[in-house]
C-alpha cells in the first residue's frame, strides 16, 4: 500500500492539515496539498492512496485535469518548429522536412479547426481507411507516422493526456503486388511526354533516374554533383543515399541516365551564360539558375502524366518500374533487393509475381533441351 500521511500545523486561529506522500519511483517524500479541516484531509489522503496504488502520481493527475486547448493545426506548428530545429542541427535533411511538411499540411486540412484533445482513435482510423482506399497503404502509413509524431508532441506539451494514435498499427505494404510499372515502350512515351513541357530540360533526367536506378523522390532531390563520377571506367558511377532507411548504394551509370545528366548540366551552364548570370556553385544536381535546389515537381509531373495518358501514376511508381524490369530482364529477387536498397528480402518479395516470366524463359530452354535429346 502507498505511503500517505497527514501532518498537523498549529496556527494561532486554527490548525491546518498538510498531506504528504512517498513517491513510488524516487522514494522521496512529496507535498500534495493543505486543507483546513482534518476530515477533508483524511478524505483526500484516502483518494491519494487509491491513486498511488494504481501506479499513477498526482503530477500525472494534474496534467490530465488541465490540458492546454490547442487545435491539431497549432500542435502541428509546434511540431514543424521542432523539425526545423533538427534541420538546423543536421539531424534531418531538407528533403525529409519537405516531405514531412506536405503530409502535415494534409493532416491539418483533414482535422481543420478540431482541438487535439477532441480527436479520438476512431477519427484517425477513419482517416487512415480513407487514405488507404483513395491512395495507397504506403501513403496512409507515411501520414500515420506524422500523426504519431504530432500526438507525441501534444503529450509532451500537456495538450492531451491520452495519445489516440498510440496503439494504431501501420497497414501492411507487403500483402499486395506492385502492379504499377511501365514496360520499356511505355517508359519511352513518358519521356517523350516530358519533352513537350516547360520542364523538358530536367524531367527526362528525373524519369531516367527513377526507372533505370530506382531512385525515390528524396534521393533525386538530394542528389549532389559530387555523388557522380562521369569518367569512372568510361561508364560512370553514381551514389544514392536514402534517409528513410539510412541506406547508401552505388551503381554504374546507365547510358541514357548518364547522357541526360550531362545534357542537364550543359543546359544549366548555357542558360547562365545566355542570361549573363554568374554561375552559382550549387552542390545539388537539380537546382535553379540561382543555385536554389528544386524542392517539388508535382505540377510538372501531373502535366506529363496527362500528356502520356497515365492515370494515378506517381513518381514513386518509377521505383517499381525499376524493380519490375530488373526481374523481367532476368535478375533474381536477391539481386533486386541489393540494387534497390531494401533492408530485407520480404520487402522485395512483393514483386515475386513477376518472376513467372523469367521462369517461363527457363522452361522454354528446358523444353529445348529435352527436344534436342529426342532420338
Cut 0.85: pTM above it: no
Whether residue 202 is found in the same domain as residue 79: no
Q: What is the pLDDT of residues 258-284, one digit of tens each?
A: 999 999 999 998 998 888 777 667 789
Whether residue 92 is found in the same domain as residue 13: no
Number of domains in the chain: 3
Helix (H) and strand (E) counts in the chain? 15, 6
Q: In what order do the strands lie in the sheet with 247-252?
A: 228-229, 237-242, 247-252
The DSSP 8-state label assigned to residue 341 in this structure reads T
Residue-range definition of the domain harbouring residue 123: 72-156
The DSSP 8-state label assigned to residue 170 in this structure reads P
Residues 6 or more apart whose CB falls under 8 angstroms from that of 92 comprise: 83, 86, 100, 243
The DSSP 8-state label assigned to residue 80 in this structure reads H
Whether residue 202 is found in the same domain as residue 94: no
pLDDT score recorded for residue 65: 43
Q: Which stretches of 265-340 are assigned E, i.e. beta strand?
A: none
Cα separation of the two ends of the chain? 92
Q: Would you say residue 164 has pLDDT above 70?
A: yes
Whether residue 226 is found in the same domain as residue 314: yes
Whether residue 199 is found in the same domain as residue 347: yes
110, 140, 156 — which closes off a domain?
156
pLDDT higher for 331 or 1? 331
Whether residue 264 is found in the same domain as residue 280: yes
pLDDT averaged over every residue in the chain: 83
Q: What's the length of the chain?
A: 375
Whether residue 27 is found in the same domain as residue 118: no
The DSSP 8-state label assigned to residue 113 in this structure reads T
Whether residue 200 is found in the same domain as residue 332: yes
Whether residue 188 is found in the same domain as residue 233: yes
Whether residue 300 is found in the same domain as residue 239: yes
How crowded is residue 169: how many other Cβ atoms within 10 Å of its Cβ? 7
93 belongs to a structural domain: yes
Whether residue 342 is found in the same domain as residue 217: yes
Amino acid at each position: 500500500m502507498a505511503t500517505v500521511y497527514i501532518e498537523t500545523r498549529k496556527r494561532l486561529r486554527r490548525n491546518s492539515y498538510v498531506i504528504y506522500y512517498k513517491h513510488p519511483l524516487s522514494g522521496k517524500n512529496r507535498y500534495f496539498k493543505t486543507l483546513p479541516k482534518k476530515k477533508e484531509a483524511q478524505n483526500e489522503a484516502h483518494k491519494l492512496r487509491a491513486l498511488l496504488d494504481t501506479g499513477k502520481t498526482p503530477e500525472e493527475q494534474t496534467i490530465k485535469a488541465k490540458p492546454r486547448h490547442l487545435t491539431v493545426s497549432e500542435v502541428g506548428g509546434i511540431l514543424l518548429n521542432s523539425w526545423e530545429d533538427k534541420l538546423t542541427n543536421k539531424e534531418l535533411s531538407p528533403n525529409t522536412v519537405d516531405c514531412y511538411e506536405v503530409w502535415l499540411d494534409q493532416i491539418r486540412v483533414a482535422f481543420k479547426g478540431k482541438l487535439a484533445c477532441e480527436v479520438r482513435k476512431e477519427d484517425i482510423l477513419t482517416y487512415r481507411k480513407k487514405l488507404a482506399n483513395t491512395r495507397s497503404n504506403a501513403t496512409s502509413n507515411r501520414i500515420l507516422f506524422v500523426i504519431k509524431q504530432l500526438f507525441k508532441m501534444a503529450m509532451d506539451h500537456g495538450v492531451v493526456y491520452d495519445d489516440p494514435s498510440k496503439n494504431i498499427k501501420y497497414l501492411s505494404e507487403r500483402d499486395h503486388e506492385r502492379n504499377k510499372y511501365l514496360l520499356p515502350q511505355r517508359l519511352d512515351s513518358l519521356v517523350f511526354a516530358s519533352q513537350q513541357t516547360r520542364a523538358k530540360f530536367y524531367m527526362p533526367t528525373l524519369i531516367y533516374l527513377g526507372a533505370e536506378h530506382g531512385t525515390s523522390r528524396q534521393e533525386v532531390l538530394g542528389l549532389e554533383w559530387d555523388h557522380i563520377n562521369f569518367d569512372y571506367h568510361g561508364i560512370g558511377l553514381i551514389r544514392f543515399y536514402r534517409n528513410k532507411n539510412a541506406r547508401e548504394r552505388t551503381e554504374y551509370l546507365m547510358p541514357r541516365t548518364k547522357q541526360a545528366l550531362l545534357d542537364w548540366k550543359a543546359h544549366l551552364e548555357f542558360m547562365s551564360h545566355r542570361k549573363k548570370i554568374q554561375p552559382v556553385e550549387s552542390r545539388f544536381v537539380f537546382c535553379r539558375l540561382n543555385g536554389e535546389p528544386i524542392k517539388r515537381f508535382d505540377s510538372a509531373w501531373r502535366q506529363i502524366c496527362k500528356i502520356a495518358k497515365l492515370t494515378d501514376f506517381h513518381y514513386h511508381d518509377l521505383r517499381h518500374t525499376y524493380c519490375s524490369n530488373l526481374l523481367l530482364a532476368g535478375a533474381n529477387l536477391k539481386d533486386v533487393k541489393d540494387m534497390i536498397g531494401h533492408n530485407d528480402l520480404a520487402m522485395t518479395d512483393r514483386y515475386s509475381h513477376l518472376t513467372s516470366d523469367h521462369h517461363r524463359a527457363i522452361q522454354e530452354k528446358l523444353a529445348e533441351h529435352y527436344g534436342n535429346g529426342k532420338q
